[in-house]
Amino acid sequence: MRYDIDVIQKAEIELLARMLGASSLTKKQLSLDSGISRQHLGLIAKGKRNFSLKSFCDLADAFGCTATELMAKLEEIMMELVKLQVPMAADKSKGLNYIKKNASSGNSPKNPKYLKDGNKL
């Protein structure tokens, strides 16, 4: 399955939050244990940076699991996010079809705009 970059970033943010919540580590301790700077962890937590493969493996080690186990958790979160996006995408396409239908049928808007002299636009 191919994932959108937004889904990946949101999943990384969620993974970091969940793993920190499940462990007794603070961000400072995680930084020391993983060798990743607190600034870089902060940028990942804000979605401004992504994990590198090395930083991902270092995080797994700091959390006491394998990179494979951490990746499985990340993929689980991505699947949750994708499931949430499908209904939203369906609603958006429904809305676009409604707009296209009304635009092509020549229906006038319910609240027409008027010029200063009172004539319709």
CATH of residue 40: 1.10.260.40
Could you tell me if residue 94 is inside a domain?
yes
pLDDT digits over 42-76, tens only?
999 998 999 999 999 999 999 999 999 999 999 99
Tell me which residue range forms the domain holding 49. 5-105
Q: Can you tell me the mean pLDDT for 9-14?
A: 92
Domain count across the chain: 1
Could you tell me if residue 95 is inside a domain?
yes
3-state secondary structure 44-75: HHCCCCCCCHHHHHHHHHHHCCCHHHHHHHHH
Q: Is the pLDDT of residue 93 over 80?
A: no
Could you tell me if residue 58 is inside a domain?
yes
Greater confidence, 107 or 51?
Answer: 51
**Structural element, H or E, at residue 110:** none
Could you tell me if residue 60 is inside a domain?
yes
